[in-house]
Amino acid sequence: MSRGNDKKPVGFATQLTAGGIAGAMEALCCQPLDTIKVRMQLSRSGRAPGTKPRGFLATGAMIARRETPLALYKGLGAVLSGIVPKMAVRFASFEAYKDWLADKETGKTSLGNIFLAGLGAGTTEAVLVVTPMEVVKIRLQAQQHSLADPLEAPRYRNAGHAVYTIIREEGVSTLYRGVSLTALRQATNQGANFTAYQEIKKLAHKYQPELTELPSYQHMLIGLISGAMGPFSNAPIDTIKTRLQKATAEPGKSALQRITAIASDMWRQEGVRSFYKGITPRVLRVAPGQAIVFAVYERVRKVIEEMSPRDDSDVYTE
């Protein structure tokens, strides 16, 4: 992996291909954990005095028992349809923001500006791709119907039908419900993620100066560590967002009023722990997911560069 600053940045086609493949691998491996997380965030268990919210393993077992194990992959179509543009936007916008914030004389980007570039990348992907994708995904994941019973018809048959139904019944704007919370979540996720990834990778190169390219297992380990940063910092935002996007519109109420009402209801009826519902499967999904994304991205990028005459440098040049 080149660490110089005198080469051209990774081309958009490379970002699209490598990012799309990396994202698809992440989705296929981690979707069950995301479904469990969503169900835990929507669950009202633990409201009664002396009771505890249903845990991670119990929630997964209940889904598999009642709805078959395939139910753990509900919403996968929505995720896969949005994963290529999501990853392309993430990597391309991060690179663009990093270049804009780089020192004009040295061409290097400071740690603080890398964090700002990550914030910008997260916000951009949230507005352009993630919010409508997650509204559809959450609606599909929230459906508690058995895939083994053909007579138990779900409200939304698949991602395409969900989009059509939502737009027809609730309007296009519903696909962007919770965009502010999604942007805040994605911004903090990617700000922490890219900053930690770059700094840890720089440290790995420092202690292994003989390596021009880090092995895949190190990219995976660095991605695992950096990916765990976001969930702990923004779990309450993600839980409120999930409940907001699952709910139907309330006439006369603004987005801020609905967010405030959801948060107040959670605090009053379920306590502070409700804001961290689903944190276990979320960390277990996001951290390994980022490990997969970075490892696959770096590997696919390297293969593409070896096949191409173009002399691209790493998207994470330092």
pLDDT in tens, 74-110: 888 888 888 878 887 888 889 889 999 998 888 889 9
Q: Over range 295-307, report the average pLDDT.
A: 83
Find tokens 């969503």 and name the residue: 38
**What pLDDT, on the 0 to 100 scale, is given for residue 203?**
94
Contact predicate 90/121, CB 8 Å: yes
Q: How far apart are CA 253 and CA 240, in angstroms?
A: 16
Reported for 141-147, long-range contacts at CB under 8 A and 24+ positions apart, including other chains, are 141/34, 141/35, 141/38, 141/39, 141/74, 141/75, 142/38, 142/39, 142/42, 142/246, 143/74, 144/66, 144/67, 145/67, 146/66, 146/67, 146/68, 146/71, 147/67, 147/68, 147/70, 147/71
Number of Cβ within 10 Å of residue 186's Cβ equals 29
Spell out the alpha helix ranges (H) of 68-130: 76-100, 111-125
Q: For the chain, what is the mean pLDDT? A: 84
Q: Model confidence over 250-286: pLDDT tens digits?
A: 777 887 888 999 999 999 888 888 898 888 888 887 8
What does each C-alpha distance from 20 to 32, 227, 243 come to in angstroms? 19, 18, 28
With vertex at residue 91, the alpha carbon angle to CA 87 and CA 93, rounded to the nearest 5 degrees, is 110
Q: For residue range 55-76, list pLDDT tens digits in order.
A: 889 999 999 998 999 999 988 8
Cα separations (Å) of 176 from 102, 115, 127, 234? 32, 25, 8, 19
Of residues 314 and 115, the one with the higher pLDDT is 115
Name residue, tokens 């935002």: 237
What is the pLDDT at residue 208?
A: 93
pLDDT attached to residue 264: 93
Q: Is the pLDDT of residue 168 over 50?
A: yes
User: Which of 217-221, 293-297, 306-310 shows the lowest mean pLDDT across its residues?
Assistant: 306-310
Length of the chain: 318
For the chain, state the CA radius of gyration. 20
Residue 113 clears pLDDT 90, i.e. is over it: yes
Residue 310 has pLDDT above 60, yes or no: no
pLDDT at 249: 73
**H-helix or E-strand spanning residue 180:** helix 179-207
Question: What integer is the mean pLDDT of 305-313?
Answer: 61
